Amino acid sequence: MTRSFVRLQQVDPGFEATNVVSMNIALPTSKYHGPQVNNFYDQLLERVKNLPGVKSVAGISPLPLSNSNVSYRFVVEGAPLVPLADRPYAGVRVVTPDYFQTMSIPYLKGRSFTEQDRENTTSVTIINEALASRYWPNQDPLGKRLGFVEEESGKQVWREIVGVVGNVRHKALEIEAMPEAYFPYKQSPGNFMSLVVRTASDPVSMVPSIRSQVLSIDKDQPVSDVMTMEQRVAKSVASRRFVMLLLGSFSVLALGLAAVGIYGVMAYLVIQRTQEIGVRMALGAQKRDVLRLVVGKGMGLAIIGIGIGLIASLVLTRLMRSLLFEVTPTDWLTFVIVSVVLLTLALLACYIPARRATKVDPLVALRYE
């Protein structure tokens, strides 16, 4: 579990989370619709961009690692027509022009969205690397068209591919990036938007200023779910962190009990064999011989126990498969490390009583009852 969690934290989410704060804004449909939605977000983006300490600002819906996802079925232009139910899904993200810059998502080909990508211009899309490599391997997808079937209206809209960007692990760090397409928000307006702001310093300190800009446009408009992107990344692995800490705590407890148990058994065996040790020493046995006798007995038992434990673990760790990430249930390195730790612990637990046995006075031992 520890190795899985370490590997999970090393996964690149596809964006740079440092110094980025996010918040949700849901405009009421009774008050905002059509051009009013775009006008609100245009004003907000412009005002926040001009705040001191803000490097870049953008909007997206839905936000990565927010437990929210939108997918449309699509068809590649020129491909054989298939029934709607058999068409593949692509994740759909509606973004403002500066989104990729704000989140430091790399451009691989083509261009970004611009203010000219509006409702009365050619419908366009930017796709991620996963979608491009799946449908146009070793080809240039720019200029190709995808037909997306909108869930609400059931209408198919053809969009021209104008760019390709890097993959983002939208759902979770442990889930590979799925094919995704980005739409310009002025061609797919919606009342809900997540604001992402990259700052020059601590992003949390900018939250009051950003909130005040929202209120200056609409004094009744709240913001919600304010959180830095670093916090969102940490939150996305919180359940795995909890399981790791829980199982880790039980493991440490089991390790402690094993150490105390081995020490107790060996100490008891030394007491039981005090006379035998005294006789051996009286007949010329050296301290190293007594040490070897006691430690050898304890380590023999420990090796047998570890062998049984390894066999049991090889069977039972398969039940943990769903909890692991890029680590197999029979990962040899984990088994080697744990075995070495247990052997070292057993050696220490055996050595202390053995060391005490070497200090036995033969005369006292021979009289011991």
pLDDT in tens, 75-102: 999 888 888 888 999 999 999 999 999 9
- Count other C-beta atoms under 10 Å from residue 190's C-beta: 16
Asked whether 40 and 27 are in contact (CB, 8 A), the reply is: yes
The C-alpha atoms of residue 128 and residue 280 are separated, in whole angstroms, by 77
- Label residue 363 by pLDDT band (50, 70, 90): low
Q: What is the per-residue pLDDT across 10-45, written as a single tens digit (0 to 9) for each?
A: 899 999 999 999 999 999 988 988 789 999 999 999
For the chain, the structural domain boundaries read: 11-227, 239-366
| Least confident interval from 35-44, 269-278, 299-308 | 269-278
| Least confident interval from 128-132, 176-180, 285-289, 364-368 | 364-368
Q: What is the per-residue pLDDT across 139-157, written as a single tens digit (0 to 9) for each?
A: 999 999 999 987 666 788 9
Instruction: Give mean pLDDT, residues 49-73.
Output: 93
Please tell me the predicted confidence (pLDDT) of residue 368: 55
Please tell me the predicted confidence (pLDDT) of residue 52: 94
Beta strands in 166-279 (DSSP E): 180-184, 192-199, 224-228
Asked whether 191 and 25 are in contact (CB, 8 A), the reply is: no
E strand or H helix that includes residue 268: helix 238-272
Instruction: Give mean pLDDT, residues 105-117.
Output: 93
Please tell me the predicted confidence (pLDDT) of residue 362: 66
Please tell me the predicted confidence (pLDDT) of residue 143: 94
Q: Which residues contact 250 (CB under 8 A, 6 or more apart)?
A: none
DSSP for 320-338, written as a single string: GGGG-SS--TT-HHHHHHH
Residue 302: burial class (beta carbons within 10 Å; 0-12, 13-18, 19+): buried
User: Which residue has 């004003």 as its token pair?
Assistant: 43
| Least confident interval from 247-251, 324-328, 362-366 | 362-366
**Nearest one of 12, 69, 29 to 194, comparing CA atoms:** 69
The C-alpha atoms of residue 194 and residue 63 are separated, in whole angstroms, by 6
Q: What is the per-residue pLDDT across 208-221, written as a single tens digit (0 to 9) for each?
A: 999 999 999 999 99
- Count other C-beta atoms under 10 Å from residue 61's C-beta: 23
The C-alpha atoms of residue 182 and residue 191 are separated, in whole angstroms, by 17
pLDDT at 315 over 90: no
The C-alpha atoms of residue 91 and residue 170 are separated, in whole angstroms, by 9
Q: Which residues contact 325 (CB under 8 A, 6 or more apart)?
A: 4, 5, 7, 8, 174, 240
pLDDT at 173 over 70: yes
